[in-house]
Amino acid sequence: MLSLSTSLAPLRHRNYRLLFLSFVISMLGDGVWLVALPWVAMELGGNSSDLAMVVGAESIGLISCVLIGGALADRYPRKLVIGWSYTAAFAVLTALAVVHVTGSLQIWQLVGAAFVLGAAAAISGPAADAFTPDLVPKDDLHAANAMESVVRSLAVRMVGPAVGGLLISLIDALSIIVLNAVSFGVAATCVAMIVVPRPVGDPTTGKADADVTAGAEGVPYREALRYLFSERWLWLLIVWSGLVLLLQSGPRQVLLPFVIHNDLGGDARDYGTLIAVTGIAAVVGSLVLASRKPPRDYPRRMLLAWTAGAAPLALMVFVPSFWMLLPLGAMYGFFSTVGNVYWSTLVQTSVPSAVRGRVISIDWLGSLALVPLSAVLAGLSPDRGFMVWLFVLGGVLPVLLTLATVRWVDLRALGAGGPAAAAATAPVDGGTPAVPQEDKERATAPTPS
């Protein structure tokens, strides 16, 4: 049964309320911009190649700057990293609006702005993920991640695009640019109002520090990488997610519209319906998790949920009618979101604060780096037989990867309290463990089956 008090518990904390509000506003702006961007490009006389350059520039900015974002999140106060990245996005969109008013806006300027927006997202994203455990107690962290997942699904997949489509029909592209700029300005203001004189502390140790980046200045990136590869569960699950996105993102984003159009006789409205159903299922999954405390075996459930969300792809290319795609899309939306929320909780409660930003940024990079390659693979051949194989492999291979992963990772040892204590002992400052060795041995002992 859903518990509203549990779901909203993180909002009791003023600092997190401000961070959450900034997240909501920026996500709504992103959702509006996602729909408005093609029309902005077309108003400038651009074609599909020009739009591809704009979208590609944003992806390049995101991928190329995500590791820098992780380093900044560990070296400097995370509040400032997030605030300045929002301010940079506000500045570039304001400049874009000013240039548009003068009538001299060109595609290359839109490309440059898209790169900056991608870079700003690469810097603010890992910093915000790493900042959340500093603002809420460990007991409320799972609900915070679930609430953010709800907002992301609603804002980017549903409300934001719907508002963007409505605004495009009512106002011009200039107004859309200004609106997105305002959203980043308000988000930056919310972050600036956060006051963290003494943070809740690192959930891996349960201790509060005077500075959320205490000790990070002395931790070089190679030590963060050493920590990452010393935790088998961490790097194996990052590799797992990267490979699954390589197998799945191309068929979902590039080939599925052709399946709907060519095989099932559908149109853009049907494709939009499928996306909406997927988003609704994601919201339901997030709400279910937000209302409950994570179970002791949630790392195992995380991997099973990811696998359950990936497997339906193998069936999508064989369905005889469009309506049979909807439950498969709902399965993907629900279970993939459940896995993602559990993953956020696991990383935030397991990774020491001094390297948390960099580990999260490496996770982001592992998830994003192979997505362009997946799109390229999906476009190699228009042959239906090739497309069928991509869908089947995309749904079956994640199951095989899961079977291999569970042989390498003792998911029972990653239960409640286990990963946090295990991670806290990692030598992130050149060899000094964060908690006594006996605590690590006690915390990482396998839980009863």
Q: Kindly state whether residue 431 falls inside one of the protein's structural domains.
A: no
Average pLDDT over residues 302-324: 93
Average pLDDT over residues 144-162: 78
Is a pLDDT exceeding 90 seen at residue 327?
yes
Determine the pLDDT at residue 389: 94
Q: Kindly state whether residue 441 falls inside one of the protein's structural domains.
A: no
Cβ atoms of 121 and 66 closer than 8 Å:
no
Poorest-confidence range of 87-91, 223-227, 307-311? 223-227
The verdict on 326 and 359 lying in the same domain is yes
Is a pLDDT exceeding 90 seen at residue 190?
yes
The verdict on 187 and 242 lying in the same domain is no
Q: Kindly state whether residue 445 falls inside one of the protein's structural domains.
A: no
Which residues lie across from 207 on neighbouring strands? 202
* Whole-angstrom distance, CA of residue 388 vs CA of residue 408: 31
The verdict on 253 and 307 lying in the same domain is yes
The pLDDT tens digits of the residues spanning 202-240 come to 444 444 443 444 444 546 777 788 888 888 888 999 999
* Mean pLDDT, all residues of the chain: 79
Poorest-confidence range of 259-273, 384-398, 426-440? 426-440
Determine the pLDDT at residue 188: 94
Q: Kindly state whether residue 428 falls inside one of the protein's structural domains.
A: no
74's CB contacts (< 8 A; 6+ apart) are 130, 213, 216, 219, 224, 354, 355, 356, 357, 358
From 197, 231, 257, the end of a domain falls on 197
* Whole-angstrom distance, CA of residue 113 vs CA of residue 106: 11
Q: Kindly state whether residue 249 falls inside one of the protein's structural domains.
A: yes
Poorest-confidence range of 13-17, 223-227, 309-313? 223-227
The verdict on 150 and 249 lying in the same domain is no
Q: Kindly state whether residue 446 falls inside one of the protein's structural domains.
A: no
The verdict on 193 and 313 lying in the same domain is no
The verdict on 260 and 408 lying in the same domain is yes
Is a pLDDT exceeding 70 seen at residue 6?
no
Q: Read off the CATH number of the domain in which 272 is found.
A: 1.20.1250.20
**Token pair in block for residue 20:** 């959450």
Q: Kindly state whether residue 203 falls inside one of the protein's structural domains.
A: no
- pLDDT band with cut points at 50, 70 and 90 for residue 198: low
The verdict on 76 and 145 lying in the same domain is yes
Average pLDDT over residues 302-315: 94
Determine the pLDDT at residue 200: 47
83: containing domain:
1-197
- pLDDT band with cut points at 50, 70 and 90 for residue 3: low
Determine the pLDDT at residue 392: 95
Q: Kindly state whether residue 99 falls inside one of the protein's structural domains.
A: yes
The verdict on 175 and 242 lying in the same domain is no
- The pTM for the full model equals 0.73
Total domains, the chain: 2
Is a pLDDT exceeding 70 seen at residue 347?
yes
The verdict on 251 and 340 lying in the same domain is yes
Poorest-confidence range of 95-99, 148-152, 160-164, 307-311? 160-164
Determine the pLDDT at residue 48: 61
The verdict on 64 and 146 lying in the same domain is yes
The verdict on 153 and 240 lying in the same domain is no
Helix, strand or coil for residue 1?
A: coil
Is a pLDDT exceeding 50 seen at residue 397?
yes
The verdict on 397 and 336 lying in the same domain is yes
C-alpha atoms less than 13 angstroms from C-alpha of 219 in its C-beta half-sphere? 30
Query: Residue type at 262?
Result: N
Determine the pLDDT at residue 324: 93
The pLDDT tens digits of the residues spanning 91-115 come to 999 998 898 888 788 888 888 988 9
49-56 CB contacts, 8 Å cutoff, 24+ apart? 50/107, 53/107, 53/111, 54/107, 54/110, 54/111, 54/114, 55/114
